[in-house]
Structure 1
Amino acid sequence: MRLLLVEDNVDLADAIIRRMRRNGHAVDWQADGVGAASVLRYQSFDLVVLDIGLPKLDGLRVLAGMRERGDSTPVLMLTARDGIEDRVQALDVGADDYLGKPFDFREFEARCRVLLRRGRGQASEVVQIGGFQFDNAAHRVSLDGEVIELPNREFRLLEILVGRLGQVVGKDEIAKGLFGFDDEAGPNAIELYIGRLRKKLVAAPLRISTVRGVGYMLEASDGGADGDG
C-alpha cells in the first residue's frame, strides 16, 4: 500500500520509512504541513500518517482541508501532546485514529493495518479461499498449510488484488499502491511482478486474469491460477 508520512522529526520519519518500506509499503514523506497539503491535492494514498505539531501548517489544518475537499483517505494522527483536548479535536476534525509519541512500532504497524483494512472494507486480516490463506498481519501466504515465499513487493501486489477480489484493478492503481515518488519502476515492472506471482500461485484456487488495456483481476477458481500474459 502507498502511505504519506507527514512528520518533521527527521529521525522518527527515517525510522518509520525504513520499517514500512521493509514491509513492502511505498512511502512518501513530507516534513511540513504546506508540502503535505500540496501533495494531497494531486496524489492519492491508501493511508496518511500525520503529525499534529508541524511547521508552516499544523496537522489539524491539513486534515481539515482534506475532509473539506471530500478526501476520505484514512488518517492516523501522531503527536507528542498529552492533552485529551488534542485527541478529541483530532477525532472531531476527521482523524480515523490517534497515537501518542513515543510509541511501540508494533502498535503503530497494527493501527496502520487496521486503517488500511477498513479502507478496503475488509473485516479480517486473514482471507481464506479453499486451501489458500492470505494473512496480512503475519505477512504470510500459504497453500494447504505450506508457506508460499513472496518478496515484499509481490506480497503487496497480492494484497492489492486480494483486497479487490473479483474486481478489475487498473495498472495505474496498482502502480500507485506499489511505488512511491522515489522508486524506480520501469514501464513493464507491473507485468513482471504479475508474471512472478502467477507462477507462485499456479497451484492455488485463484486466477489472475489480464483485462486488456485496463489492468488485472484476481478471481477464485476451482483449478489453479492462470491468465494471459
Structure 2
Amino acid sequence: MAPYTIRKYQDQDREAVIDIFSKGLLTHVPSAFFHLLKQPRSILLLLSVPGALFLGSGSLLLFLLALPGLLVFLWMAARYPFKCYLSHALHTDFRDIRKSYLSDKGSCFWVAESEGQVVGMMCACPAQQGSREQKCLELLNLSVSPEYQGQGIAQSLIQTLFQFAQEQEYDAVVLNTICFNYPAQRVYEKMGFWKSHEAFDSLMWRLVAMPSFCYEYSVPSSL
C-alpha cells in the first residue's frame, strides 16, 4: 500500500482532479445500463417493439436488427444523465474550483496525494436544505482512482470532512449517491452515515428510473 496524504486543493491539481472526476463519474454507466435493463418499461420495450415490427412487416431481418438497436438506445439513455452532469459541473463549479470551494470558509476541496500524484478528491459546501433547521454540510464528488481503491483513501477523505464539519460547527453532513452504487453505500454506512430517504435529483433521473439514496451523518459537538 503506497502512503498518501490528504490536503487542500491547489491550482496545479486541476488537470488530475478533472480526470479523476470525469472517469469516476462515467464508470457508473455500465451499472446504470444494467439497472435500466431490469426496469419493467425497458423489458416491455425490448419484448414489444421487435415483435410488433415482425408482425407488421413479416421481416425476420428487421426483427433481428431491432433488438441490438434498442440495446444501443438504452445504453445511450443510461449514459445521458451522467454526461449531462459532467458537462454541467465542468461549466459551473469545476470551472473555477478555488472560487467555488475555497473562497468561503464554509466550503472546502480536498485531494489525496500519493507519491506526488493526485489519486483522490472530494469537495463540500453548505447544503441547500430549504426550511430545514439544521446547519448541514453537503459532501460532493468523492472519487478515488481505481488503482488506489481499497486502501482507505475514501475513508480518510471522509474523516477529514468530519473534522472540517466539526470545526465549522455544522450539525450534520449530507450526501446523495446513486441507488446502485453499492461500494460507496457500504463505505458511507461504515463511516456512520444513515440512509434518510430516496429522491430523484431531476426529471431526467426519474425518466431513467435512477433515484438517489440520501444519507446523513450527525456531527458530534466539539464541546
Q: TM-score with structure 1 length normalisation? A: 0.33
Q: Which has the larger radius of gyration?
A: 2
Structure with higher helix content: 2
Higher relative contact order (CA 8 A, sep 6+): 2
